[in-house]
Structure 1
Amino acid sequence: MSLFELFIIAVGLSMDAFAVAICKGLSMGKISIKKAGIVGLYFGTFQGGMPLIGYFLGVRFHDKITSMDHWIAFILLVFIGLNMIRESRNYECENEDDSISDKSMNDSLSFKNMSVLAIATSIDALAIGVTFAFLKVNIIPAVSFIGIVTFILSMIGVKIGNAFGNKCKSRAELIGGLILIFMGFKILLSHIGIINF
């Protein structure tokens, strides 16, 4: 897997965290680099950690399913992508009051509050880790890259949410879902020899 492909997947995966970071920024009266950094650190750490767990699960069962690994990668990426697109339809945050009233979207940066949000936004990355095992991706640089991309985008999301509200949250989810679906098709078509890029 090329660095560019990894970057595309990292951006796609980070859209969940980016979208939640936008709402987090909306709920904060006044933000600082430190607060944005804390949000980014939680999301980046969990987004990088989940694929690592998925990778070791995938490696454990890789020998049993090698002949269909490209189909599994395709199904997982498309499933995650479609799920993100479906969620984007539920993220119409045009009504500011609805977003703020959500209990998880308060301005707390407590371990409990942030851990719940970070786990919720990184579950999809667990399946990506399984896919990485099938594709024999060098996992440590890959998860580090995903974590860093998510960290940066989450910090940006907090700033955007604080400055402009979270009207673009649904768009972030939609774009992330489309990216992952595209990568799923690319992996499948490459593996069966229809395309070669």
Structure 2
Amino acid sequence: MDTIALVGIAVGLSMDAFAVSVTNGAVQKKVTPSMALRMAGFFGFFQGFMPFLGWLIGKAGESFIGSIDHWIALILLGFIGIQMIVESRRKDEDSEPDELNVRRLTALAIATSIDALATGIILPTAVRANTVPLMVLSVCLIAVITFILCLVGVWVGKKFGDLLSDKAELLGGIVLVLIGVKIFCDHMLG
């Protein structure tokens, strides 16, 4: 197994989830350890699960996944980002941002891990994980790296959110929309 390539893939796959974690950390007035762990857990789980699912789907589903993944990411992140922008314009200063409930976290985690689904199809070849145990180890490493980066991202976001105060939710929504557009453009242009 090529561990260096796997770590590189894991870090690359986790960057969108990291950016969303920073954004969510910034918009929350109060970041608790349990909230940070829950968010990192959702992102870590989905970043690990999606390549495994992609591996199971195999070559038969590769063209289908590749044809819609960017649309799913754009729609989910765009919707949540626009919702945050609208809410930031509507709220008075003492109101709390929308709670990071299971539905919202799941949508964010899926949107940021769609590329991992497609990556799972080529992952065994890319990192020489040609047995089931090596593939399971690979997706677990992806999940752990994503979890750690997202946990750090929440706290980094909290520091930025304290500096941005009432503009954090507006900027967070803009960032989510831009991440969705970036994923879409990367696919369309690449």
TM-score category of the 2 structures, normalised to the smaller one: 0.5 to 0.7
Change (3 A) 1:10 1:122: farther
Q: How many Å separate the matches in 2 of 1:186 and 1:2?
A: 21
Match runs of 1:14-29 below 5 Å? 14-24=18-28, 26-27=29-30
Match runs of 1:55-66 below 5 Å? 55-66=51-62
Match runs of 1:157-172 below 5 Å? 157-162=157-162, 164-172=164-172
Q: 1:6: Cα distance to partner? A: 6.5
Q: 1:48: Cα distance to partner? A: 0.9
Q: 1:143: Cα distance to partner? A: 3.1
Structure 1 runs not aligned, ≥5 long: 29-34, 105-115, 191-197
Q: How many Å separate the matches in 2 of 1:144 and 1:41?
A: 12
Q: How many Å separate the matches in 2 of 1:6 and 1:173?
A: 25
Amino acid at match of 1:51: Q
Amino acid at match of 2:51: Y
Change (3 A) 1:74 1:20: closer
Q: 1:148: Cα distance to partner? A: 2.3
Q: 1:154: Cα distance to partner? A: 0.7
Q: Percent identity?
A: 12
1:80 to 76, 84, 102: 76
Change (3 A) 1:152 1:180: same
Is 1:12 aligned to residue 48 of structure 2? no
Is 1:97 aligned to residue 97 of structure 2? no
SS at match of 1:99: coil
Q: How many Å separate the matches in 2 of 1:38 and 1:162?
A: 19
Q: How many residues align?
A: 169
Q: Once superposed, what is the RMSD of the aligned Cα atoms?
A: 3.5
User: What is the TM-score of this pair, normalised by structure 1?
Assistant: 0.63
1:44 to 40, 46, 49: 40
Q: How many Å separate the matches in 1 of 2:72 and 2:7?
A: 20
1:121 to 87, 105, 124: 105
Structure 2 runs not aligned, ≥5 long: 124-137
Q: 1:141: Cα distance to partner? A: 4.0
Q: How many Å separate the matches in 2 of 1:126 and 1:57?
A: 12
User: What is the TM-score of this pair, normalised by structure 2?
Assistant: 0.65
Amino acid at match of 1:184: F
Q: 1:126: Cα distance to partner? A: 2.5
- 8 A contact 2:24–2:172 mirrored in 1: no
Change (3 A) 1:59 1:128: farther
The match for 2:131 is: none
